[in-house]
Chains A and B, each alone.
Chain A
Amino acid sequence: MSKILRVNMNDLSFKWEKVKPEQEQLAGRAFTSTIVSTEVDPTCHPLRERNKFVVSPGLLAGTSAPSSGRLSVGAKSPLTSGIKESNAGGITATKLGRIGVKGIIIEGAPPKGTTDWYIIHVGKDKAEILKKNDYAGIGCYEMIAKAWKDFPSKPGVIGCGVAGQRLMKAAGIFGNNIENNDPGRYAGRGGIGAVLGSKHVVAIISEDTGGAVPTAKDKTLFESGRKALAKALDTQAVTGVLKDPQGKPFGALKNYGTAVLINILNEAGGLPTRAFSAGRFENAAKVSGEAIHELVDKTKAKFGDKAEGKYGHPCHVGCIMACSNAVPYENTGKMHVSPLEYETTWSLGPNLGIDVLQDIAELNRLCNDLGLDTIETGNTLAMLMESGMIKFGDGPAAIAALKEAYNPKSYLGRLVSSGASSAGHVLGVTRIPVVKGQSLPAYDPRPIRGIGVTYATTPMGADHTSGYTIAAEILGIKGKVTDPRELKKADLSRAFQATTAYIDSTGYCLFIAFAVLDIDEGFKGMTDSVDAFLGKKIDVTEYGMKVLKAERDFNKRAGFTERDDRLPEFFRTEKLPPHNVTFDVSDGDIDAVYKGT
C-alpha cells in the first residue's frame, strides 16, 4: 500500500501523500494510533475541528491470506476522551487494500452552522468529496442501498448513522456486509461515529475497479505461510469447517457463531446478568448460539429456498472462519439482522434480563440502523432499567425506548444514544459499569479477573478485544516465554495486550488465535505471511508494545493517570453470584502492568 489520502473538511480539499519510510510497516491499528498520537492534540475537544478521523486497512487486507480483511478506524474518542481504535470486517478494507490506500485521514470540519453533508468517494488513483444531503438523516439500511444504487460497482461503504450525525457518544462506524443487505459490520466502540459526524461526513465509499491483489515481497514464503494458516484454521475445532466427514457439526464458530459463548460463560458464572448483578442467566439457553442455529434450521425447513437465515456466514471476503450469521424472522424466514454476535446478544439480552431472541434481534437491527454501538447501547438501556424507568426483562419497552432515538427532538432518544456513563449519571445510578467512560463488555471481571485487569489498563477504556486473553497463551506457549507459569499477572496482561495490538494491525481477525494456539504450523503461517509481505522479520511483542506505548503516551498527555486505570467501586464491594467473589486485584498489581514500560 503506497499512498495516504488526506482530506481537509475546512475547505473541502484533499491531497495524496506518499507513504513515508517509517510508515511502511504500519497498517490497521498501528497506523491509526500512530497518526492520532502524532497529529492530534490530546487536549482537543474530540468533536471539534482539531480531532482527526483515521481509517486504515490491515496490512494484509486485499491479499489471499485467510481472514485478513479487517479495517481499523481511529480518533480521539468522545466517549473516553482518550485515544481509540476500533476494527471490523466488511468489504472496505479489501477494496482499499487493492487500490493501494494505506490510510485515509479526515481533518478539520466545515464552518459552524453548515447544514450540508458529504461523502468521500475513493477509487484507484482518484478521490472526490461529494455533497450528499440525501444520505443524512436516514437509516443506515437505506443509506447502503442508496450507495450501491449510486455506485454500481458494489463498493465498500462505511459511515455514521443519525446517532453519529447528532454527535452522540454511543455512535459507531457502520460497514456494509458482502451482500449489502445489512450495515452490521461495526467498528462500534468509543463513539467514533460521532467524530465522523462532526466532520459532516456521512460515508466513505471505496471502489476497487482497476485495482489489484497486493503482492508480498517474498511470494514463496507468503504462499506457504497463508496455506499453513488456512489449513490450521480449517482443521481446528473452534475455527474449522462446518461439518466433519460424517456430516456432524464441527467448527464451533461456523455452526454457532461467537454466541457459542453464551452457554459457556453462563456455566462459568461469568455472564453478566441484569446490569452486572449476577453471573448466571436462568434463560441463557433461549438466546444462545445453539438457539440461533436451531432457528435458522427451523426456518430453512419451513420456508425452503425463501429462507434467508444463515450461519457460517463470512464477515468479509476471504474469511474462512465465517463466524457471522443472519438471524431470520421466525414467522417469515426473511432476514431480521446480520450478524447477531456474542457481545450484542449479551448486551441486549441477559444484560437486560431479556430472553426473547426476536426482541434481541430487533434491538440489534435498530442499533445497526441508527448507527449505534450495541455494547454501549445495551449498557445504556441497562441504566434505564437499573434506575427503574424500564423493568428488567421488558423487551418491548426497551425497543420502544431505542426507537425514540430516531426522533431528533426526543430527550429519551438522546439519552439512549449517549452511552452508559452519561445516562447513568443523569438517572442517578451508582452502579455504572464503565472504565474511562466506556462500558464493559460481556465478561464479568469478578470471576474472570484477568480480563478485569485488561479493562482497567487498556488505553481504550473497558474493552475485551484490547487484551484478548487468548493471546497470553500464544505468547506463553509459542513466543519467547516458554512457560507461562513464570509470568506474573501484570506481565501476562501486558503481553496479551501487545500481541493483540500486533494482530489488530495485520488485518487478521483475532479469532485466528485459536488455530495458531493449538497448531504450531498455523502460528508459523501467521508470522511467515506477515514477514513475507513486508520482506522483514517482525518481532510480535516489540511491534505491539510500540503501538501500546504510542496510545498510552497520548492518554498521558490527555491527562490520564493511574487513577483512571480502575474498575468502578461496586466490582470491589458487591459479590457476584454464583461464585460470590469481588474483584480483588490490588491497585499495585494493576499499576504494574505498564510500570517501567
Chain B
Amino acid sequence: MNSRRIEIHLYGALRSLVPDSRPDEDTVLRLDSISNETFGGLVARLGLKPSDLGDCFIDGTLAKPSSLIPEGARIGLFPFNMVLLCGGQHLKGHGYTHTDVDVDYY
C-alpha cells in the first residue's frame, strides 16, 4: 500500500464507517497519513469518542491515546464491546477500556 496512507481495519459496529461492509469480510478504510498524528487524534478525526472503542491496535501493538501513527500503519479498530478476553490482558492499560494507562502487565 501507499506508505503515505494508513489502513484502518474496522470491526463490529464500527464497520458502518464503510458503506456496504460485511461482517464476514475485511472492512478496510484507507485514509491519508497525517504527520505526527496520535491515535487519539485519529479517533477524533473519525468522529468517534474514546467510549466507543474497545481494544485497538497499531501494527499489532495495543494503541494508547498518545501513540503516534506511522505512515503505512495498519490500525485495528474495535468497538467498546470487543476486547481481549484472556491471554492478552497484560496488554491492557491503554486508556480506553481501563483508566490506568501506564499499567503494563508484562
A residues near B, CB below 8 A? 237-238, 240, 248-252, 255-256, 258, 260-261, 263-265, 267-270, 279-280, 285-286, 288, 290-291, 293-295, 342, 357, 442-443, 447-451, 464-465, 468-470, 472-473, 476, 484-485, 489, 492, 510-511, 514, 578-579
Contacts and interface: CB of A to CB of B under 8 A. Distances in A.
Contact of A249 (B25, B81, B85, B86): B81
A597 B76 CA distance: 41
A267 B13 contact: no
Contacts of B89: 450, 469-470, 472-473
B59 interface: yes
B87 A448 contact: yes
Q: Name, among B27, B57, B87, B102, the residue most crowded by chain A CB atoms within 10 Å (CB to CB).
A: B87
Q: Name, among B60, B78, B90, the residue most crowded by chain A CB atoms within 10 Å (CB to CB).
A: B90
B75 to A, nearest CB: 9
Contacts of B88: 264-265, 268, 270, 443, 448, 451, 469
A285 B24 contact: yes
Given A252-B81, A448-B87, A267 B60 contact: yes
B22 A294 contact: yes
* Overall SS of chain A's interface: helix
B103 interface: yes
A489 B106 contact: yes
A240 B82 CA distance: 12
B9 interface: yes
Contacts of B11: 263-264, 290
A285 B25 contact: yes
B24 A291 contact: yes
Contacts of B57: 267-268
A511 B86 CA distance: 9
B60 A469 contact: no
B19 interface: no
A270 B89 CA distance: 13
A465 B85 CA distance: 11
The 7 closest A-B pairs by CB, nearest first: A267-B76, A269-B60, A443-B87, A291-B24, A290-B23, A237-B81, A469-B89
Interface in B57-106: 57, 59-62, 76, 78, 80-92, 102-106
Given A237-B80, A579-B60, A286 B86 contact: no
Contact of B12 (A249, A280, A342, A464): A249
Contacts of A286: 24-25
Contacts of A237: 54, 80-81, 83
B100 to A, nearest CB: 8
Given A268-B88, A464-B87, A248 B13 contact: yes
6 contacts: A238-B85, A251-B81, A268-B76, A269-B60, A285-B25, A342-B85
A238 B25 contact: no
Contacts of A442: 87
Contacts of A476: 103, 105
Contacts of B59: 578
A168 B92 CA distance: 39
B85 A258 contact: yes
A73 B92 CA distance: 32
Nearest to A237: B81
A268 B60 contact: yes
Contact of A485 (B82, B85, B92, B102): B102
B26 interface: yes
Contacts of B23: 285, 288, 290-291, 293-294
A279 B60 CA distance: 10
Contact of B81 (A238, A285, A293, A447): A238
Interface in B8-66: 9, 11-13, 22-27, 54-55, 57, 59-62
Q: Name, among A258, A447, A449, A484, the residue most crowded by chain B CB atoms within 10 Å (CB to CB).
A: A484
Given A264-B55, A291-B23, A578-B59, A511 B92 contact: no
A143 B54 CA distance: 43
Nearest to B55: A264
A489 B105 CA distance: 8
Nearest to B22: A294
Given A470-B89, A489-B106, 5 more contacts: A249-B13, A261-B85, A267-B78, A357-B24, A484-B105
A248 B92 CA distance: 26
A449 B105 contact: no
Contacts of B82: 252, 256, 260, 263-264
